[in-house]
Amino acid sequence: MLRGRTALVTGASSGIGAATAAELAAAGCRLVLVGRDQRRLGEVAARTGGQALAAELTDPAGLDRVVTAARQVDLLVHCAGIGWAGDLPSMSAEQVEALTAVNLTAPMLLTSAVLPELRRRRGHVVFVSSIAVVGVRGEEVYAATKAGVRAFAESLRHLDGIGVTTVFPGAVRTPFFAGRDYDRRFPRMLTPEEVAAALVRGVQHERAEVFVPAWLAVPARIQGALPGLFRGLSKWFG
- 142 in active site: yes
Buried/exposed code over 189-211 (b: 16+ C-beta within 10 A; e: otherwise):
ebebbbbbbbbbebbeeebebbb
Which residues neighbour 139 within 8 Å (Cβ) at sequence distance 6 or greater? 83, 84, 85, 132
User: What are the distances in angstroms from CA 153 to CA 116, 199, 202, 221?
Assistant: 16, 15, 14, 17
User: Per the residue annotation, which of 142, 152, 168, 230 is the catalytic one?
Assistant: 142
CA distance 174 to 93: 24
CA distance 140 to 171: 16
Catalytic amino acids?
142
